[in-house]
Amino acid sequence: MKRTSFLVFLSMILVVLSAAVAADVPYLTGRVTDNAQILSARTHKALTESLKAHEDRTGNQVAVLTIASLDGEGIEEYAVRVFETWKLGRKGKDNGVLMIVVPEDRRMRIEVGYGLEGTLTDLMAGRIIQNVMAPRFRKGDYEGGIMAGAAAVVKVLEGGEAPPATGGSRAVKGSGGITEPDLPIPQRILFGAFIFGIIGLFTVIGIVTPGVGWFLYFFLIPFWAMFPIVVLGVRGALICLAGYLVIFPVAKLLFKNSEWYRKGVTSLRTKGGASIGGFTFSSSGRGFSSSSSGFSGGGGSSGGGGSSGSW
């Protein structure tokens, strides 16, 4: 009962924290809402006229929103909130499309209404982001990227083809595959504390422990290769793995000359075990156990538990 109450309390705290960092949904002022102020008056007018002409021809409602930062909120969640607040598309047809650009976060998204998902698929939206918008944004050309992206969306909705896939571009979060993380900052902190807390603890144990230390070095390589992707992305995980592969053996060699390390090696050889930092290690191959507490588990078990991009 206490455990259930704690979980409910923790869930309430997380909901409150998420609401606290959530960005406001701006008032719908037109087909183009430039809160980040990255569009000139001329571009704003031309884009508005283009989207109005498309709506007159097809009935589809396409809106563009720029906002400076989402203050840590995920762009997928924010896009859904804006879409539902603005109620884009006609009732019963759900034929709305929302394009969001967040310059300070370097994030963007094309949110597609249910009625247009078969026309403007996740793959097509991803290609527009990856091949049309992102290259221009990387050069600082926000106006060109938004205009070209909106034109590509309109083209697809009117029966045209999306830009072809090209190599050498950054990964875009769509329907599958390994992509860059798109978690809100609070979730990244929580996941990071959990992941790096666990593998970091075992890394330290491996460094300071004679005998079993080198076994842990090789054992932890796949964990350092994959777990950081959730928080840091592929590039960050590669940096972590490279750092681990170098720092672990260097630190191990440095500690090897310390007095307490030599005592541990001697104790393993003469007594078959050694105690370091509250952990008892055995040379019999059974690993290690903790002697710092008399607590142990009771044998219970647990049951478990559009497209975005960056530039």
Whether residue 161 is predicted with pLDDT greater than 80 in this model: the reply is no
Q: Are 108 and 129 in contact (CB under 8 A)?
A: yes
- Residue 56 confidence (pLDDT): 93
**pLDDT (mean) for 173-195:** 65
- Residue 184 confidence (pLDDT): 65
Tell me the pLDDT of the chain averaged across its residues.
Answer: 76
Whether residue 200 is predicted with pLDDT greater than 50 in this model: the reply is yes
Q: What is the spatial distance between Cα 286 and Cα 282, in angstroms, rounded to a whole number?
A: 6
- Residue 287 confidence (pLDDT): 43
Distances (CA, A) of 177 to 127, 174, 181, 289: 15, 8, 12, 39
Q: What is the spatial distance between Cα 79 and Cα 100, in angstroms, rounded to a whole number?
A: 7
For residues 246 and 258, which has the higher predicted lDDT (pLDDT)?
Answer: 246
- Residue 288 confidence (pLDDT): 41
Q: Would you say the pTM of this structure is higher than 0.85? A: no
**pLDDT (mean) for 179-184:** 58
For residues 262 and 143, which has the higher predicted lDDT (pLDDT)?
Answer: 143
Q: Are 249 and 217 in contact (CB under 8 A)?
A: yes
Report the interhelical angle of 185-208 vs 212-219 (nearest 10°). 150
**pLDDT (mean) for 295-310:** 46
Report the interhelical angle of 229-255 vs 185-208 (nearest 10°). 20
**pLDDT (mean) for 62-66:** 93
Pairing type for strands 61-66 and 32-34 reads parallel
Locate the DSSP E strands across 103-173.
107-112
- Looking at 5-19, 25-39, 154-168, 262-276, which range is the least confident one? 5-19
Q: How far is CA 195 from the centre of its chain?
A: 14
Distances (CA, A) of 279 to 118, 162, 275: 58, 59, 5
Q: What is the DSSP letter of 292?
A: S
Q: Which position has the token pair 């995980």?
A: 237
Q: What is the spatial distance between Cα 4 and Cα 19, in angstroms, rounded to a whole number?
A: 23
**pLDDT (mean) for 302-311:** 55
- Residue 253 confidence (pLDDT): 79
Give all domains of the chain, ordered by start, each with its CATH number: 21-157 (3.10.310.50), 185-290 (no CATH)
What tens digit of pLDDT does each residue of 97-140 get?
Answer: 999 999 998 999 999 998 888 889 888 898 999 899 999 999 99
- Residue 226 confidence (pLDDT): 86
- Looking at 103-112, 216-225, 279-288, which range is the least confident one? 279-288
- Residue 290 confidence (pLDDT): 43
Count of other CB atoms within 10 angstroms of residue 251 = 15
Pairing type for strands 107-112 and 273-276 reads unpaired
Q: What is the spatial distance between Cα 15 and Cα 18, in angstroms, rounded to a whole number?
A: 5
- Residue 168 confidence (pLDDT): 44
Whether residue 205 is predicted with pLDDT greater than 70 in this model: the reply is yes
Q: Are 181 and 82 in contact (CB under 8 A)?
A: no
**pLDDT (mean) for 24-48:** 90
| N residues, the chain | 311
Closest Cα partner for 34 from 101, 95, 92? Answer: 101
Q: What is the spatial distance between Cα 187 and Cα 29, in angstroms, rounded to a whole number?
A: 32
Q: What is the spatial distance between Cα 105 and Cα 137, in angstroms, rounded to a whole number?
A: 12
- Looking at 5-19, 28-42, 77-91, 287-301, which range is the least confident one? 287-301
- Residue 29 confidence (pLDDT): 83
- Looking at 43-57, 138-152, 166-180, 271-285, which range is the least confident one? 166-180
